[in-house]
Chain A
């Protein structure tokens, strides 16, 4: 089977997540909708991967499978060699709890907790977490620690979501359209925070977007269509988020 992993940069680093023939079929009443059809993918330690593709191409489905939010209908998924494709709900919860950080388009902060408390929520259940204030410092929000979500802008909320996602020192940071609801300037600030986390903590990062420009900041760019990975590109040099324009 042909490996689609990139040749440059972290190509020789250990594989964190390995997918083979990953498929997901949704049943919508009488109809079966194949959202993902036999995807092979390796994510290597410290890598920054951007998944591009139009809506409906299967990006989110893939991300959900990688993050243990959903289970595949066929294929295998290994986390550091351990099968997680057939795991039950409890095992998946434990997997998410220990290894995965999520960032969504709509922040999904707990509105009744302050920025810092949203982060503490996670550090309390993690094994060797960051200091909550340090996590907020990484996303540049140390001075907003006591603000509630309703008192912050969208960009700030998203950065809190990132701080919350990385506070447990996850092995994987999965971001689903993290800038989708933000304007350009704010979006760049958020991307810088993700970039900083990836570099400073060496967290393997996988980011979904339909904005091709963002691919420039990645080690690898995968393009999806109709539930398959149809192209892979390795930009020579990772661009800094502040230099991106769209």
Chain B
């Protein structure tokens, strides 16, 4: 019979109970969804690496004879060595004005490489008899709708060539294809192409030599154990030294992204389950208060305290279990969907999805924990009620003049009802406000990365990179090259850039990065901090990115040792003149002439920043294609457009999801507290109606309380949102990124607006209940 009571009680509370179940479901779904995605991606990554034999150690160099590979094989711990030739090419693609950048990577003639093996999506390996046949990375192929049999007009080392596509492929070392030195992948403007070794070596003038090498290690050997030996062998051949998988950009992006999923798996569920627990508490307390007589009767009939307590525990347990079931289904769906999405975005050759049993157990545990937290107080009350006492009505609610009473002096009696009701249950008001505040904070913090990215891009494209086109050279060139660029049609300003691979050292700490030269009086490319302040580049000494100074633990005034990794490889000691908070990278800056003086190798520039007249762009790009030493061309406006497109795509879906989640949270809290408050004060409100107050006036009392809760919530939510943002910065920033703390007033306003709108919707629903208040029925019953 009790079961029937249970079912009916739940049915009566269905809307409130549904809200709680949904909150639990969101918590469980994000927990299981994000964690299973995290594990699935991690496993997919590992399996891909194993299956396609991803290398453990990578090194690039200028040029080394093939025989050097044999010496690398002899290093203890090294299992396998495979050399490659990698060079760049300019690709003429339809639909973009500037040449796209191609990275040509060698594979053995007519065979698969032994490590970093390819996954052939369609087509076949290049034919040894056809030197200009290539495999194209799937991302690039898709962006340009390329298929086997198509040809790409290209400029390889200054020579025009038609590259014939034999197949479309993926590879473990280029899962995410991003051009070196750029922050975002642009599949239309950057592509990986695999070509046969003999042909590529001939084209790159590297016959019998290599400029890139990958190593696989024996089981149990860590990369750090062999890297020093590898560096010793390769030292004479130029290059920035060897590194582990961290040196592989694709691996780094993928691993960072996977790691961030873990954060989501903890914070979002905690928020939702916490709010669900609070609502459980509010509702169960109310149910117990109204059912005191029933509880007493049940106990008087001979049921034990525990049996009666169990009845109520089960009631809320069922709600949580419903949420859990819904959440698990959702989590499975989300996990599958996210994993597939990520796998597609990162072009993983294979992916697996798994939902481990321990995640299910974990989800059960956290939802039971939330349920226990929420029901504890009310259940204790049930246990404590003696049968006889329960048969008497609860003592009338006691109101008094609260310490805040002075504030209510000027209010009307209706206003005072609202005020004192809030004051009588300050904890409920505070928790309810907090619950709504979480929704505000969720919106603010959720949107922060979007705002931060936009602000960063505005800064980078608007103020730091002021050129129209950036050109990089295949090798450092002398200043003749700059003069050559100046003579191209439409060119108005050319400023040289110089970037040298170096290792920074301070004490026992070191970091491989780049030292950049800035010409005196540069107008196109300048050094600027996160707030948009220009940083002074010293005539002597070096300016470090704050991230680099942090990594090396040095402060301005101290010395840093710089080991140049190309040319004559000089080692120099420089004074750190200052630090600058840059959004990207960890690098050093100095005056271009001073840098050239230090290097003293005649090679002075590695690239150029160029302003071009709009009218001459077409002929400018045409001429640029004829320059053999140009490795890459970046049109800044196109880069910006690519970024904006990516953001726009991602933002709509993301913003909708965020609003839905936060809206659910806000609505759940507002609706439940309003319903409970309504139930508690039915009699009072009916009295007002009898006295002649209109439905609107009576609703005003209920609305007033909702408004107070929301009024507490909005500023609190903004503060919490700010705190979340700060906390997120820590987790988002690494040595590649420094995310600025961007506080966008529209985001705050929008977050508040969403919550206010949700409250308005709930208010309409509650209003209908107030309108339908049964005056006679309520007033004739004893309280």
Contacts and interface: CB of A to CB of B under 8 A. Distances in A.
Most chain B CB inside 10 Å of its own CB: which residue of A60, A94, A121 = A121
B403 interface: no
B626 to A, nearest CB: 85
Contacts of B687: 108-110
Given A106-B779, A124-B412, A112 B693 contact: no
B90 to A, nearest CB: 78
Contacts of A110: 413, 417, 684, 687-688
B424 to A, nearest CB: 7
Interface of A: 60, 64, 67, 69-70, 89-90, 93-94, 96-98, 100, 102, 104-106, 108-113, 117-118, 120-122, 124-125, 148-150, 164, 168, 176
Given A108-B779, A117-B413, A93 B694 contact: yes
Given A93-B689, A117-B416, A106 B421 contact: no
Given A108-B686, A125-B692, A150-B397, 18 more contacts: A60-B780, A64-B776, A69-B775, A96-B691, A106-B779, A106-B780, A106-B783, A108-B683, A108-B684, A110-B417, A112-B416, A113-B413, A113-B416, A121-B414, A121-B688, A122-B691, A164-B691, A168-B692
Interface in B652-695: 683-684, 686-695
A93 B244 CA distance: 80
Contacts of A98: 692
Interface in B726-783: 775-776, 779-783
Using C-beta atoms within 8 Å of the partner chain, give the interface range for chain B. Answer: 20 to 34
Given A106-B783, A110-B688, A112-B417, A69 B399 contact: no
A111 B420 CA distance: 10
A64 B398 CA distance: 30
Given A64-B776, A69-B776, A93-B689, A111 B694 contact: no
A106 B782 contact: yes
Interface of B: 395-400, 412-414, 416-417, 420-421, 424, 683-684, 686-695, 697, 775-776, 779-783
Nearest to A123: B413
Contact of A108 (B398, B690, B695): B690
Contacts of B697: 125
A112 B399 contact: yes
B692 A148 contact: no
15 contacts: A69-B775, A89-B695, A93-B694, A97-B692, A98-B692, A106-B779, A108-B687, A110-B684, A112-B416, A112-B417, A113-B420, A121-B688, A150-B395, A150-B396, A164-B691
A110 B397 CA distance: 10
A76 B382 CA distance: 51
Contact of A102 (B396, B424, B691, B695): B691
Contacts of A105: 780
B399 A148 contact: yes
A180 B767 CA distance: 34
Most chain B CB inside 10 Å of its own CB: which residue of A98, A100, A125, A164 = A125
Given A112-B424, A124-B412, A124-B413, A90 B694 contact: yes
The 7 A-B pairs at the shortest CB distance, nearest first, are namely A97-B692, A112-B420, A121-B413, A108-B687, A96-B692, A150-B398, A112-B399
B684 A121 contact: no
A109 B421 CA distance: 14
B399 A104 contact: no
Nearest to A146: B401
Most chain A CB inside 10 Å of its own CB: which residue of B395, B688, B692 = B692
